[in-house]
Structure 1
Amino acid sequence: MPDNANPAAWLAGCIPDLPTPFDERGAVDLAAFARLCERQIKADVPAIVVCETAGEASTLTPEDQDSIIRAAVEVARGRIRVIAGAGSNSTSQAIELTQRAEAAGADAVLSVVPYYNKPMQAGIHAHFRAIAISTALPIILHDIPSRTIRELSDDTLAGLAESRQFIGLRDGTGDIARLARLRQRLPTGFRLLSGDDATALAFVAGGGDGSISLVSNVAPRLCQAVYLNCRKGRLPSARYLQSRLAPLTASLVRESPAALKYALGLLGLMRPDTRLPIVELDELAKREVADAIAEIGDDEDLACPIERRHGPRLPEVSAATS
């Protein structure tokens, strides 16, 4: 379907939710961030997500977010889409972040259900409608009740999707049965993406359009292969590839984004530093991440085949190399 018929046609496949690298002083490391972006572009991802869950958005200043989005846009140069996280539990702040993302050149925003406030569904609907009025950018909704307490109900989603400005949903519920319910109620061009790596294959096999993924940061080509095999009907191949990723998925989601940053540090792509209240992994968690990476260390996706260089036991890494 051409883009002019479905403006969300590009929103499909395995899309990484990028972390935000910090330098030894705790400032945003834009050089390392650019490397992460370029690596994903070379893996042929359709888009990248920045300043969202994996990006420690709640610890970023508006100026941090501006610089990250602008850096992503500059690296992308139109080769892929840049989706900027712009959510908040304050509607006015979400509007400000959305407008700043638009000014920085983002192609779309990802906006999460307001957290902590526990708004009623009418308030959630009004929140997202106010954001939509404030911008010309397409909006992807993010439903992740484990973090927000309140869910985005099917009725609220269907009402919002009547506007073509709302182009998709990142569904972090892990509820595969929901997919069939939603397809009957949403416009044909509305995109449904899993926000849960553990159930992403089942989601796509059930008719989903793709996923927004943590694991894709570490193994982008392998994640893309899972998606493409599934969409082409080669489910045994997709399941086999997914099984290779299972230990990595389990190790990353347990303590994200600290585990993700440690994994990318082992690959020499960035420092593993986080901002409080997130702290570094304990030694057991580090070993689980290292062992999970070693299991797929021969895959062509990995930037540096650690196991080949260092043997079966991986070294501790405190800082990324350039």
Structure 2
Amino acid sequence: MFKGSIVALITPMDVNGKICRTSLKKLVKYHIKNNTKAIVSVGTTGESSTLNQKEHYEVVLLTVEFSNGKIPIIAGTGANSTLEAIALTKKFEKSGICACLSVVPYYNKPTQHGLYKHFQSIAESTHIPQILYNVPSRTGCDMHPNTIIKLSELQNIIGIKEATGDLSRIHKIKKYTKKNFFLISGDDNTALDFIQLGGDGVISVTANIAAKQMSEMCKFALQKQFRSARLINEKLIPIHESLFLESNPIPVKWAAWKLGLINHQNLRLPLTTLSEKSQKRLMQALKKSNII
């Protein structure tokens, strides 16, 4: 379940900024239909930073409900407070999720020892499998390969989402972690190369609007049919790049709305609607990639 294209799902909102259940159900069906391997609910792309804890829990439970066992659900449960991350993780213990995605603590910039203790404490507090999430551009703190390797020795830490874009790390992490430790890209732009170097898949923003293409690209790559995978990926490159014209998930939400995948493009402050200049560039990318 942790190999291939996994979507970092957007959280749809209605005109009043409330969770849009209709759109969420539509999105889950879209990913089941297009063979996405799993859904990450309420991660960065799912606007975890603007949802309160009650809404966070509600969106994950709704995603589990709408999936009806047809696609695994991974819950975003990270926090920069270890106690808060543990509390949120434990809240999902009987929810039906298959794993948690736990981000490196942001803003407080812990040491490598602090990172180890943080994730060790979470792992030891729950039976839910834990996937680490390293994204220094967001957190201001990089979890080094040696720390990842040490954490992989803990029983229910089962993998990592590496969103550094640094492909040189893959070999070392792959070589010194346990055999069944999942290595998942968090960067659509380099995901194909990541898999070719030994990775297991990608937690993807692009999959929100190109689920079938991302699923097929990952399938070919995992089967070592790299020429076929690259032909698909080359068409997606304009999308990979354009979805970060402004802070994620601003562009992908606008694109999903344009494609009719969600009913409204609403975000919550401090996130704002995609600018007209970026709308034009993203629309060009959608056409160039044959998404629209």
TM-score w.r.t. length of structure 2: 0.96
Deviations 1:170-195 (A, max 9, x none): 00010111101111110000000000
Deviation at 1:296, TM superposition (A): 3.2
In 1, Cα distance between equivalents of 2:275 and 2:36? 32
Match of 2:182 among 191, 212, 227: 191
SS in 2 for 1:181: helix
Q: Which residue of structure 1 lines up, in the alignment, with residue 287 of structure 2?
A: 294
Deviation at 1:228, TM superposition (A): 1.6
Query: Mean Cα displacement is larger for which, 229-238 or 39-48?
Result: 229-238
Question: Does residue 178 of structure 2 align to residue 173 of structure 1?
Answer: no
Q: Does structure 1 conserve the Cα–Cα contact (< 8 Å) formed by 2:31 and 2:211?
A: yes
Among all aligned residue pairs of Structure 1 and Structure 2, give the percentage whose two residues are the same amino acid. Answer: 38
Deviations 1:220-251 (A, max 9, x none): 11111111222222222211111100111111
Q: Which residue of structure 2 lines up, in the alignment, with residue 200 of structure 1?
A: 191
Q: Which residue of structure 2 lines up, in the alignment, with residue 285 of structure 1?
A: 278
Deviation at 1:135, TM superposition (A): 1.3
Q: Which runs of 4+ in 1 moved over 3 A?
A: none
Question: Does residue 261 of structure 2 align to residue 273 of structure 1?
Answer: no
Q: Does structure 1 conserve the Cα–Cα contact (< 8 Å) formed by 2:200 and 2:222?
A: no
Q: Does structure 1 conserve the Cα–Cα contact (< 8 Å) formed by 2:135 and 2:142?
A: yes
Query: Mean Cα displacement is larger for which, 32-41 or 99-108?
Result: 99-108
Q: Does structure 2 conserve the Cα–Cα contact (< 8 Å) formed by 1:140 and 1:170?
A: yes
Query: Mean Cα displacement is larger for which, 38-47 or 225-234?
Result: 225-234
Between structure 1 and structure 2, the one with the greater Rg is: 1
In the alignment of these two chains, the number of paired residues is 290
Q: Which residue of structure 1 lines up, in the alignment, with residue 252 of structure 2?
A: 260
Structure 2: segments with no counterpart, 5+ residues: none
Q: Which residue of structure 2 lines up, in the alignment, with residue 228 of structure 1?
A: 219
In 2, Cα distance between equivalents of 1:141 and 1:254? 26
Q: Does structure 1 conserve the Cα–Cα contact (< 8 Å) formed by 2:7 and 2:207?
A: yes
Deviation at 1:47, TM superposition (A): 0.7
In 1, Cα distance between equivalents of 2:225 and 2:116? 39
Question: Does residue 120 of structure 2 align to residue 129 of structure 1?
Answer: yes
In 1, Cα distance between equivalents of 2:86 and 2:245? 31
Cα RMSD for the two superposed structures? 1.1
Deviation at 1:105, TM superposition (A): 2.5
Deviation at 1:103, TM superposition (A): 3.6
Query: Mean Cα displacement is larger for which, 287-296 or 38-47?
Result: 287-296
Matches within 5 A, 1:1-322: 10-255=1-246, 256-270=248-262, 271-297=264-290, 306=292
Deviation at 1:67, TM superposition (A): 1.1
TM-score w.r.t. length of structure 1: 0.88
Q: Does structure 1 conserve the Cα–Cα contact (< 8 Å) formed by 2:192 and 2:221?
A: yes
Q: Does structure 2 conserve the Cα–Cα contact (< 8 Å) formed by 1:66 and 1:104?
A: no
Deviation at 1:96, TM superposition (A): 1.4
Q: Does structure 2 conserve the Cα–Cα contact (< 8 Å) formed by 1:168 and 1:190?
A: yes
In 1, Cα distance between equivalents of 2:204 and 2:289? 17
Letter in 2 for 1:281: L
Structure 1: segments with no counterpart, 5+ residues: 1-9, 307-322
Structure with the larger RCO, 1 or 2 (CA within 8 Å, 6+ apart): 2
In 2, Cα distance between equivalents of 1:69 and 1:264? 20
SS in 2 for 1:254: coil
SS in 2 for 1:221: helix
Letter in 1 for 2:272: V
Q: Which residue of structure 2 lines up, in the alignment, with residue 5 of structure 1?
A: none
In 1, Cα distance between equivalents of 2:115 and 2:238? 36
Deviation at 1:66, TM superposition (A): 1.4
Q: Which residue of structure 2 lines up, in the alignment, with residue 309 of structure 1?
A: none
